[in-house]
Amino acid sequence: MALDTAAIDRALGAIGTTFRLTRLYPPSHPAVAEALRQIAETLPTLAALGTVEWKVGVTGLHWQGQHLLPRNSQIAELAGLLYARGVRAVTLGPGMTPDQVLALFEVAVGTIPPDDATLGRVTLTLGRRSSTRLEPLRTPTPGQGVPAVPDAAIVATILATCMGLAVRDES
């Protein structure tokens, strides 16, 4: 049975619109201010639901097994950016403010870290993978007493041994 997600859909619609506008205009722009006012109007309905946790996927947000606003490109873009930063769940606590939603946008675009204090009642859960795995591997340094470039005689001995040839001792 499908859940009634009308309140969450309205809140997400306002969040998606605000996300798009904040990427186009500065925070002082009247359109951004109006979008933040619309978010502020929807927050009490989210607070009435208690703590809400949205799963973050590559293509959007999920709540209790349902894909929320699957055709909303702004929400899909926000979720994709959060997912790329390692965020796998967004938990919204009652009492959340529009400024904390703006902080969520900043995490999505990489301006602030996912554990920043400005997120307030928004908690982000990171996945198991981290971006450190994507760093290039360093070549191992040789051990103590081992030359960085092997001696030609040692290389010749190793190759001859591997090939089954007799090694002449020239000492």
Please tell me the predicted confidence (pLDDT) of residue 169. 57
Q: How far apart are CA 18 and CA 15, in angstroms?
A: 5
The DSSP letter of residue 133 is: G
pLDDT score for 107: 95
Helix (H) or strand (E) holding 44: helix 30-48
One-letter amino acid identity for 109? V
CA–CA separation, 53 vs 108, rounded Å?
A: 17
Q: What does pLDDT average to in each consecutive run of 10 residues of the chain (171 residues)?
A: 73 94 93 95 90 92 90 94 94 93 95 94 82 50 61 74 64 53
* Cα 67 from Cα 14, distance rounded (Å): 17
**How confident is the model over 3-40, as pLDDT tens digits?**
567 888 999 999 999 999 999 999 899 999 999 999 99
